[in-house]
Structure 1
Amino acid sequence: MIEGLLEEDNLLSSIFVESNLTKTQLDSLLLAFQYKIEGYSLEEIVKMRDSGPVSKGSYLRTLGQAQSNFRKSLYTLLLVVYLGILDTSTIGEFVALSDRLSSLKDMEIPEETISEIKSIINEISDRITADKVL
């Protein structure tokens, strides 16, 4: 499922490369999200992975890894806010960027725009990690 999306959407591909999920984890997470909502059973979902049918145990293990990575990302975000490393104005900028990305979802995005988006993300990251200060 994710393989086709990554091939068709250069923005998605660019964001994915910088994420902390593997392709298999993202595929499992996306399948769980999309097909559980639509009422597919676990038996049906394990047959839909990009890599082909897998055992329930393999799928659930990979899904668990994806969920754990996602949860850890949220805790990391909460941690840096709690410690004052990340302020609410930066979160606001990130939310605004996310909203803009949502509006671009089904459009062909020029590489220049993707580079600008990555620059904004890197700028936010640099402020958080103090990379530009060191």
Structure 2
Amino acid sequence: MKCIVLDLPHVVFGMEGTNNLTYVAGDMFEAIPSVDVVFLKWLLHDWNNESCAKILKRCKEAIAGENRAGAKVIIVDMVLDVFGRDDKAMETCLFFDIALIPYVSGQERTEKEWAKLFFDAGFTGYKIIPAFGLRCLIEVYP
């Protein structure tokens, strides 16, 4: 497996990769390198819906193309109304949602809100897997 870390130029400046890891300077709002899988961990909750739509459209472009069977976007983030959350877990999720307000334009999202983002960006389906405490693994398909 080969991995590409895409980040702003000043972040990856001077970073040295390995035989299977490459650092690429760029902007996820402009373009994402062509790949089989895009992995976004606790990133989209920092952005408003308009910005998320731009990011997700760039992700879809990155995984598009022939011979890309199994291509997808993998997201690790909160889903507010995921099945099986107890009251304390939901309270913590809502606290994170409120805590984002003064710092970024983002939000925690319900499954319905995530689905709207995915479909508006041109994806055809998704699967949510509660997997990491308060966070879920979300697979999004072109």
TM-score (norm 2): 0.28
TM-score (norm 1): 0.29
Q: Highest Rg: 1 or 2?
A: 1
Q: Name whichever structure is richer in helix by fraction.
A: 1
